[in-house]
Structure 1
Amino acid sequence: MEEKNYKSRGEMVGETLKQEILDLRLKPGQMISENDVCDRFGVSRTPVREALRLLQEQGFVETVPYRGTYVTLLSLDNIKQMIYMRVAVETMVLRDFIAVQSPMVMEDIRHQIAKQQALIQEKDFEPEQFYRMDAKMHSIWFTAVRRQKLWEMLQAQQLHYTRFRMLDFITETDFTRIIGEHKELFGLIEARDERGVEASLKEHLYYSMKRMRKSIEVDYKDYFEEEPEEGRFVI
């Protein structure tokens, strides 16, 4: 019974820390102190060590002997490949969606865009709120053509891509631009303009990498693994 209790506490601690890593409340390269985690959750070292062990197996933290446990850095190469894959997959999904779009599903997309617009009018909205709304909107066309598994697989790439997307939203100051891109994409889908949709989606998904070039090289350099010279910003 005691072992089961430890395990459940370890899972609870691990899930909380994992979400904080994904939301960048625990930043890439940041040290995680066992003592601080024990004090914070009111648990002994056993469940905390279990939580950190599971996070290390999943790649979210790494333990450096005699130094401590640190949140893993972001891999720019991994992120660029994920964007490439997402563009390829989502383009195919939208082609299928254009052929089967229905008024009800289109209204759902319009409603999601309206919710995004309402959110940014709030004074103290959190970037992760917009991130989740953005993900919800994109998931609609995957669901409509029964490709939910593909969407789940894309969303499961949390270690690097999800954290990069969160960094994107945290550093973004023009959410109106993003909503404008969503409206443009919606209009092209509604018009069944396949070429226009593909071009708009590609620009939409790659824009954050272009916008954040200086931030990645200067402001958030310590968040990223060292990248080979020849691979820098090839997208």
Structure 2
Amino acid sequence: MTADDGLVEDLRRRILSLELPPGAVLSRADLAARYGTSSTPLRDALLRLQDAGLVTIMPQSRTQVTRIDLDHARQIHVLRSTIEAEAAARLAAALPEGLVEQLKALIGMQEAEAQRAEMDAFARLDLAFHEALLQAAGLAAVHRVIRRESIHIDRLRALHLMQPEKAQQILEDHRCIAAGIAAADPEAAAAAMKRHLSQSILLGERLTRERPEFFTTADAGDRRAAAAF
């Protein structure tokens, strides 16, 4: 990884974790000072983040973290839920050696991070749990597509993790998914996955009311369509 890659990855991490919240205006001078970099690599990094949909660069004006697009999150949720439920069912039908132990280890590490209130580490292990499932199901390339398109879902999840009960709900969901796979029960595994992935999306409408400054605005028709989805 080059220095420029490291800069992009750290800014991406800070945006997805809401350390740099939706709508935040980024000072290039402050970023250059923080990362000890010059204007050219910083500009290139911000352009890459803009290509990823994480910031908007307004020439001669400002650079701003994009707001969460709930409609986009809903659409990617359909893709992700379908694929990951199928992966869970496939793994339950033909269990790869060592997978259950790997999942239990990840859940154990997540539980430890939750007890320490280390939510950044907890979120990384959450991603690792889902990546392990898709890789075991032979869907690593699909996983990369999902990750690339999940910037709004990731930030919804970060908002959701601010709710006191969310970490324990994730842990229980992961245990249910692992149990369905271990029991060679494709229907139970798929249902547990779908239920798990729906949680942040279901909370989205409430969050738009509680933190409207974090979300893209939509007209009333768009909101009704989203609510009916």
TM-score normalised by the chain length of structure 2: 0.86
**Contact residue 63 and residue 70 of structure 1 kept, 8 A:** yes
Instruction: Give 1:34 deviation, angstroms.
Output: 1.6
Structure 2 residue 98 is the aligned partner of structure 1 residue 129: no
Correspondence 1:209 to 2:201: yes
3-state secondary structure, aligned to 1:29: coil
2: distance between equivalents of 1:172 and 1:152? Answer: 30
* SS of match in other structure, 1:153: helix
Q: Deviations over 1:81-132 (max 9, x none)?
A: 111111111122122211221452111112222222222222xx32221111
Contact 1:128 1:169 in 2 (8 A): no
Shift of 1:47: 2.8
Structure-2 change in CA distance of 1:34 and 1:231 (3 Å):
same
Give, as a single letter, the amino acid of the residue that structure 2 aligns with 1:118.
A
The 1-side partners of 2:20 and 2:62 are apart by 15
Residue in structure 1 matched with residue 22 of structure 2 by the alignment: 28
Q: Given the superposition, is the C-alpha separation of residues 63 and 141 from structure 1 closer, same or farther in structure 2, using an over 3 Å criterion?
A: closer
Equivalent AA in structure 1 for residue 92 of structure 2: I
Judging changes above 3 Å, is the alpha-carbon distance between structure 1 residues 102 and 232 closer, same or farther for their aligned structure 2 residues? closer
Query: What code does the residue aligned with 1:85 have?
Result: L
Matches of 1:181 and 1:14, distance apart in 2: 32
Cα 1:57–1:184 shift into 2, 3 Å:
closer
The amino acid across from 1:222 in the alignment is E
Distance 1:12 1:112 in 2: 25
The SS at the match of 1:63 is: strand
Q: Specify whether residues 194 and 15 from structure 1 end up closer, same or farther in structure 2 by C-alpha distance, changes over 3 A only.
A: closer
* 1:69-218 to 2 correspondences below 5 Å: 69-102=63-96, 104-122=98-116, 125-218=117-210
Closer/same/farther in 2, CA of residues 50 and 104 from structure 1, 3 Å limit: closer
Distance of aligned partners of 1:78 and 1:103 in 2 relative to their CA distance in 1, 3 Å threshold? same
Letter of the structure 2 residue corresponding to residue 71 of structure 1: V
1:57 paired residue among 51, 56, 62: 51
Match for 1:207: what amino acid? Q
Aligned length: 225
CA contact (8 A) 2:8 2:48 kept: yes
Q: SS state of the match for residue 69, structure 1?
A: strand
**Are positions 1:226 and 2:207 aligned together?**
no
Change in 2 beyond 3 A, CA 1:56/1:183: closer
Is the 1:22–1:158 Cα contact (8 Å) retained in structure 2?
Answer: no
Structure 1, unaligned runs of 5 or more: 1-7
Task: Check the 8 A contact 1:79/1:161 in 2, yes or no.
Answer: yes
How far apart are residue 9 of structure 1 and its match?
A: 5.7
Percent identical pairs in the alignment equals 26
Partners of 1:200 and 1:225 in 2: how far apart? 30
CA distance in structure 1 between the partners assigned to 2:66 and 2:169 by the alignment: 31
Q: 1:140 to 1:66 in 2, by over 3 A?
A: closer
Which protein has the larger Cα radius of gyration, Structure 1 or Structure 2? 1
Residue 12 (structure 1) shift: 4.4
Question: CA separation in 1, counterparts of 2:53 and 2:35?
Answer: 22
Distance of aligned partners of 1:118 and 1:13 in 2 relative to their CA distance in 1, 3 Å threshold: closer
Q: 1:134 and 1:31, CA in 2 relative to 1: closer, same or farther beyond 3 A?
A: same
| Distance apart, 1:27 and its partner CA | 1.0
Instruction: Quickly say closer, same or farther: Cα 1:108–1:61, change in 2 above 3 A.
Output: same
Q: CA deviation at 1:78?
A: 0.6
